[in-house]
Amino acid sequence: MGHKATIGDGEMKKIGFIGCGNMAKAMIGGIVASGLVPAQEVLASARTEATRTAAEKAYGICTTADNREVAQNCEVVVLAVKPQVYPEVIAEIASAVDEHTVLVTIAPGFTLARLEELFGHSVKLVRTMPNTPAMVREGMTAACKNAAVTEQEMENVLAILSSFGKAKLIPEGLMDAVVAVSGSSPAYVYLFIEAMADAAVLQGMPRPMAYEFAAQSVYGAAKMVLETGKHPGELKDMVCSPKGTTIEAVRVLEEKGLRSSVIEAMIACGEKAKKV
């Protein structure tokens, strides 16, 4: 089950984001829209004035050009920069982070042990893997923590993550699998929707209509899996009438190796995550 987006005992005064790219904006949008904390209690840093101005106008948050300002003034700090600049940014803010700050990371490949080593001193760390559907408050985020994070602090972080979708606490050993099954998987689904739409266009359907039909069908099918609790195979069988059109389509998908292609792609994704 996901966690309800509430903050306990008024403890959390401000949430900070170091970096204000697409993932940060998706998270900020969910936090602000949910009313989890007032917009003015969110502080984000970005290198360019244009990015800062856009974030202020879109979400009503506070911004700064100084990463250390975020680290020093926020109780929860999300490191929302690209994985390749994590070492540089951590070196910049390490001395500004005290024993009360909870740091949330979103970069694949950076284990809790590696992060602790980069900071060079004891810090509270929550490693997460969100995905871009957070932009429409339908994200799926996995999280794990180090021993320094208390249960209440973890609940507060899960409340933040749940403000833009669902969040689950998992063992760190599953994080590379999470990268493949949810972090990167929206791209696979977009490819599937695009292919379905292309086929509909080939059969005469206008492209905007094709995208709408394909996307709504994927959305509805996913909702049935989540809400009925039935096995996906059982739901598939419900659509496949004997000698019908659907089973014929399924036959071709199996012949072309849909399942094995998805499995191999996700294995490759998980292996790549380990090497980041």
CA 30 to CA 137: how far, in whole Å? 6
Pairing of β 139-145 and β 124-129:
antiparallel
**Considering the chain, what is the average pLDDT of its residues?**
93
Tokens, residue 221: 């099918």
Q: Does the pLDDT at position 276 exceed 90?
A: no
Q: 185-275 architecture in CATH?
A: Orthogonal Bundle (1.10)
Q: Work out the percent of the chain whose per-residue pLDDT is above 70.
A: 95
What CATH code is assigned to 8-178?
A: 3.40.50.720
Q: Helix or strand or coil: residue 231?
A: coil
Choose between 275 and 21: higher pLDDT: 21
CA 182 to CA 138: how far, in whole Å? 12
**What are the tens digits of pLDDT across the range 137-183?**
899 999 999 999 999 999 999 999 999 999 999 999 999 999 999 99
**What are the tens digits of pLDDT across the range 197-238?**
999 999 999 999 999 999 999 999 999 999 999 999 999 999
Q: Which amino acid is at 232?
A: P
CA 84 to CA 134: how far, in whole Å? 22
Q: Work out the percent of the chain whose per-residue pLDDT is above 90.
A: 87
What pLDDT is recorded for position 13? 52
DSSP-assigned beta bridge partners for residue 78:
17, 104
Q: Where in the chain is the domain with CATH 1.10.3730.10?
A: 185-275
Within 8 A by CB and 6+ apart from 175, the residues are 108, 111, 127, 129, 142, 144, 273
Q: Where in the chain is the domain with CATH 3.40.50.720?
A: 8-178
